[in-house]
Amino acid sequence: MRAGRLAHDAAHEELARLAGADAEGPAAAGGSAAAEGPAAAGGSAAAKHDQRNGAREAAAPGLCEAAVPAVVAEALPERAGLSVGNSMPVRDLDSLAAPSAKRIRVLCNRGANGIDGVVSASLGAAAVSRAPVALVIGDLSFLHDVSALQLAARLEISMSIVVVNNDGGGVFSFLPQADREDIFERYFATPHGLDLQPIASSCGARYTRAGRADSLTEQLRAAVKRHGLDIIEVPSTRTANREQHRSVAEAVCRALHDAFGEAA
Ligand SMILES: Cc1ncc(C[n+]2csc(CCOP(=O)(O)OP(=O)(O)O)c2C)c(N)n1
């Protein structure tokens, strides 16, 4: 029990340090503004793509991707439903959410293969739930089931979707194949470069972007009180996510070693 608490505290201290240290730097100072602001109007498609990637690069440090499911769990009201997508969100919730007396219902759906049908299954839960439901999902899983959004509009289902957008499959960055620069991006990470804002508006969903934990909390708390579909994009990068996980794991090992010595 003590080891669990120590590990949890060390992990969150490290996540806060990573978010805070980088947020004080020049990149994040500009980045959080870009991350919170509306997407730019006008300009070429290539310029917009660069701008989005710029916002993602700069915004990632203000809120570590790994902390997102824990921040959402913390922000949700008593009795809410929290659906977590496969790949990183379910792992990050499992390892980083704090034990809590709050009664929230955690949902997870494996689909046929893993990342399929996650939006639909969560909307099904939201349709029959009296309490608000939020979904935390990766960008590829979200896009895989994007047609569910128009059904949500037609059936007037209320739900908040937090899309952690690291432009591809972040989980694969933890595999040895990640070092194979010649094949990794194309065959494993599969970046899409899509802009989520027009996708959200084409389905009648409200769209916001959160680059910091406090704004994610604020946006989510407002969203769960409203009727309809909200999409909150959290920009991230796969590289930063991998490094942050490594840093957190090292911090946990250090804390356990300091407390228990060689036995840890
Ligand atoms: C239907 C289906 N297709 C492909 C896969 C293989 N797969 C597992 S995780 C993953 C990447 C998911 O990316 P994303 O949803 O963005 O989450 P992240 O890894 O960034 O957390 C893929 C493609 C799968 N599990 N299911």
Cβ–ligand 1 distance for 141 under 6 Å, the answer yes
Containing 105, the helix (H) or strand (E) segment is strand 105-107
Give residue 42's pLDDT. Answer: 42
Cβ–ligand 1 distance for 87 under 6 Å, the answer yes
pLDDT by residue (tens digit) across 76-130?
999 999 999 999 999 999 999 988 889 999 999 988 898 999 999 999 999 999 9
How far, in Å, CA of 163 to CA of 142, rounded? 7
Pocket mutation for ligand 1, best pick of 64, 140, 187 (most atoms within 8 Å of C-beta):
140
26 C-alpha vs ligand 1 centroid, how far in Å? 33
**Cβ atoms of residues 234 and 165 within 8 Å:** yes
**Cβ atoms of residues 76 and 107 within 8 Å:** no
Query: Which atom of ligand 1 has the smallest separation from the CA of 190?
Result: 23
Q: Say which amino acid occupies 224.
A: V
Pocket mutation for ligand 1, best pick of 171, 172, 241, 242 (most atoms within 8 Å of C-beta):
171
114 C-alpha vs ligand 1 centroid, how far in Å? 7
Partner residues linked to 83 by β-bridges: 107, 135
| pLDDT-above-70 percentage for the chain | 83
**Exposed/middle/buried for 46, CB within 10 Å: 0-12, 13-18, 19+?**
exposed
pLDDT (average), residues 225-235 = 97
pTM of the model: 0.88
Tell me the pLDDT band of 20, cut-offs 50, 70 and 90: confident
**Exposed/middle/buried for 161, CB within 10 Å: 0-12, 13-18, 19+?**
buried
Cβ–ligand 1 distance for 185 under 6 Å, the answer no
How far, in Å, CA of 93 to CA of 87, rounded? 11
Cβ–ligand 1 distance for 116 under 6 Å, the answer yes
Domains of the chain plus CATH, in order, are 58-242 (3.40.50.970)
Q: Is the pLDDT of residue 9 over 80?
A: yes
**Cβ atoms of residues 37 and 215 within 8 Å:** no
Query: Which residue lies with its CA nearest to atom 4 of ligand 1?
Result: 115
Tell me the pLDDT band of 33, cut-offs 50, 70 and 90: very low
Cβ–ligand 1 distance for 115 under 6 Å, the answer yes
88 C-alpha vs ligand 1 centroid, how far in Å? 9
Q: Is the pLDDT of residue 18 over 70?
A: yes
For all residues of the chain together, what is the average pLDDT?
87
